Amino acid sequence: MKKTSISTAVLAALLATVALAGCKKKEDTADNNAQPAATTPAEPTPAPMSAPEPMAAAAAVSVTGVTVGKTAAADKSVASTALFAPKDDIIVSVRTDGTATNANVGAKLTYQDGQVAGENSQTLNTTAADTTNITFKNAKGWPAGKYRAEVTVDGKAAGTPQEFEVK
């Protein structure tokens, strides 16, 4: 067991060293003969660093509004509704602005006791203002009570949670 924890510690230290070397800023100097030795080990690391770029693009989108309603218009707009019948569809409309590549826009409905009543998400690819509608259906009907709709973008809370009621 001791060998495993030592091996893990050595591996962690090695990974940290490689990560720091990859983050090192290249300096422009007139003496190019001295640079190749420092630059050569850092060159393999940009490939792994390119993986976070889609996440950075997804993070460039911000939620500008959240609306809960029953029906969506052709332009995806949803009229705000605070009261639903048990058989109504519940649409959580998320207005965003910015650039996103494969951003995960999610909505979660929680019932008055904190129980999750529904959770759904869609992928967002946009370069401007956009609207994403996430629809919740319950074939058995929604239980009467108070609900809360919460929105996330790539797993992080976004927008203002909306409260509504089913009667």
Domain coordinates of the chain in residue numbers? 2-51, 60-166
Beta 156-166 vs 83-84: how paired, if at all?
Answer: parallel
- At 52, give phi and psi (nearest 5°): -70, -15
pLDDT tens per residue, the chain (167 residues)?
A: 444 444 555 445 544 554 444 554 444 444 444 444 444 444 444 444 444 444 433 358 999 999 999 999 999 999 999 999 999 999 999 999 999 899 999 999 999 989 999 999 999 999 999 999 999 999 999 999 999 999 999 999 999 999 999 99
Task: Judge: domain 60-166, CATH 3.30.750.200.
Answer: no
Element holding 5 (H helix, E strand)? helix 2-23
Q: Which letter does DSSP use for residue 73 in this model? A: -
Q: Mutual orientation of helices 2-23 and 35-42 as an angle, nearest 10°?
A: 120
